[in-house]
A and B are shown apart, each in its own frame.
Chain A
Amino acid sequence: MAEVSLRRIVKAYEGDVQAVKGINLEIADHEFVVLVGPSGCGKSTTLRMIAGLEEITAGDIAIGGTVVNDIPPRDRDIAMVFQNYALYPHMSVYDNMAFGLTLRKFPKAEIDKRVKEAARILDITPLLERKPKALSGGQRQRVAMGRAIVRDPKVFLFDEPLSNLDAKLRVQMRTEIKKVHQTVNTTTIYVTHDQVEAMTLADRVVVMNHGIIEQVGPPQELYHNPATKFVAGFIGSPAMNFIPARLEETSGALRLMLPDGATLNVPEARVARYRSHAGKPVLFGIRPEHLTDDKPTDKTNPAPLTLTPEVIEPMGMETLAHFRIDGAEVSARLDPATPAAVGQPLRLIAHMDQMHIIDPTNDKVL
């Protein structure tokens, strides 16, 4: 087990296309770190560079204090779980898990002990003699993890391991992965494009976009204090609303002027933070869960807003309403009991203590 550090990692392909543009990341021992981002953001490339499957164009990768740039994958003491599991189709589950140890010339008894132990942890003991073809998706996933566990490596690498599973199984395997990590406690780097997976699994989430790291932090921090517009929009579902607005200062208080004429009062606690942008166009960010129907109990800085829904989506536990403010799509989460109808103006409350202001010139959250 070991810490992993990435120092100014660059990956460039022919034609000067940079997939990863000089990222720095320190991962502590035993930590579970999730790299998340849209496809093509460089997260998989980063993982594959750590694994040694891709050459590094510039920078250093160190595992357990040793720079591993020139060390081939087999000597980096890592294990990897692939998106399509990459189980050897001609080998039994047992042989799949034993393969890495056999190549490393472990004694038979030791291999047997480790495989059986991993099978017990993953609850696949009855499957050991089967071929991968005879396994379900979830079972293959477990075998792939077993293959990583038996090696007892310094670092586990997961490359979108759940994206081939159906929704229900994905939730189940997510818990499973978390449990395994709690048991074996190995440093883990996990790549996914699914922000829910990132939020639920990670000690720390690394949000990547266009080959750079947008923000690193614990899941709650990313949700509450996103650093950039990208992170704000990426974390959380449905995504945060961004409404073009103007900050106006009148006698010490700040007000947000929305393009449809509505004005919202900025809470006093935030005034100091935003004052420098008074008089400038900004983006007003608010999550759908903080834009709710008008209930008298909600007292924390309520800012009333009247909008006309274009689409109503009843979800059961809540109802999503979609509006349009001057071309910007806005959604709100309503109580399912609220009588909402398309075309009927609806009175909403914006929870301004959860608001964000984004500087449109550099997409930073203020």
Chain B
Amino acid sequence: MAADGSLAVSAASGTGRASSLERFARRRSTIAFLMTLPLLVVVIGLVGYPAAYGIYLSTLNRRMTGFMEGDWLPTGLGNFEILFDSDTFWMVVWQSCIFAISAVLLKALIGFWLAHMLHHIPTKGQRKWRGMLLVPWVIPPALSTLGWWWMFDPSYSSINWILNIFAVPAVPWLGEPWWARASVIIVNVWYGAPFFMIMYLAALKSVPEQLYEAAAIDGATSWQRLRYVTLPMMANIISITVLFSLIVTFANYDIVRVLTNGGPRDLTHVFASYAFQVGILSSNIPRGAAVSLFMFPILAVCAFFVLRGVTRRNKEQM
């Protein structure tokens, strides 16, 4: 009898539970959904939708009355066809790649070097040095670039003045294409190297001291310690930082805009500044959207690897 009774009870409460548990789960999901709703609005409304809309825009003609016709590409891809046929555009592609790759490499090397040096000095001095060396990153780049612009001024360049002391002839910083390209890279490296330094310093500090002690006892020289302990331990953070910086640098706008505004003769344009010039300043919105979209593939590749690195890192930490 007892068995029968308890069976009946558990069966009844079994069905009852299923529904109320569902209700509980549903309520929690509802609250969670409401909490994430503003985020969803931002992500979908201000990133997802514009991305789709951008693709659509890039297929329109200049007055946005219909699709852009193409000669050898199907209708809708006319803007891309014109870009493919344009020397200026290929120049922009070329310049963007030179700019992003060399700037990121330099930033990474300088950042690593400085982080290593900072890690060497006594801990109580590190804070002060770190504080000083991060200043370029803290000033809004558009504003600090104004300072660089003034330092590169053709007739008043204070850098040339210093070079003159060492009997180096004046450099036409922003006047000659190659020097202008170099100038943009210099400013970007100056602005971005501190970020690398901070990231690498944080990574260096997370390597347990015992590993170095064990390596030293195993007979590793300081170079071997760097090669076999430091670099493998930091490989993940190095790749994440480099790829992340590649995205940001590739898409950079403010430094180019303030320093050269694309000149001389459109030779220092990168994707962003060229898209801005074509899309906003010359009011060819669809063409500008098409230029921006060219950034997408390389950004997507970088983003994929960053995400993989971050996920892997999280797994390691768990």
Contact = CB atoms under 8 A, between A and B. Distances in A.
Interface stretch (B7-15, B203-211, B273-281): B7-15
Contacts of A70: 16-17, 20-21, 24
Contacts of B14: 58
Interface in A29-67: 55-56, 58-60, 67
B6 interface: yes
Contacts, number: 20
Interface string B1-42: 000001001100110110011001000000000000000000
Contact of A7 (B10, B17, B20): B10
B10 A8 contact: yes
Contacts of A188: none
Interface residues of B, number: 10
20 contacts: A7-B6, A7-B10, A8-B10, A55-B21, A56-B17, A58-B10, A58-B14, A59-B10, A60-B9, A60-B10, A60-B13, A67-B13, A69-B13, A69-B17, A70-B16, A70-B17, A70-B20, A70-B21, A70-B24, A72-B24
Contacts of B6: 7
What is the interface of chain A mostly: helix, strand, loop, or mixed? Answer: strand
Contacts of A8: 10
B133 to A, nearest CB: 32
Nearest to B20: A70
Interface of B: 6, 9-10, 13-14, 16-17, 20-21, 24
A67 B20 CA distance: 13
A157 to B, nearest CB: 21
A84 B108 CA distance: 41
B42 to A, nearest CB: 29
A224 B20 CA distance: 45
A22 to B, nearest CB: 11
Contacts of B17: 56, 69-70
Interface string A67-79: 1011010000000
A137 B24 CA distance: 37
A8 B24 CA distance: 22
Contacts of B21: 55, 70
Nearest to B19: A70
Contacts of B13: 60, 67, 69
Most chain A beta carbons < 10 A, residue from B6, B10, B17, B21? B17
A69 B13 CA distance: 9
Contacts of A55: 21
Contacts of A69: 13, 17
Contacts of B20: 70
A60 B8 CA distance: 12
B84 to A, nearest CB: 51
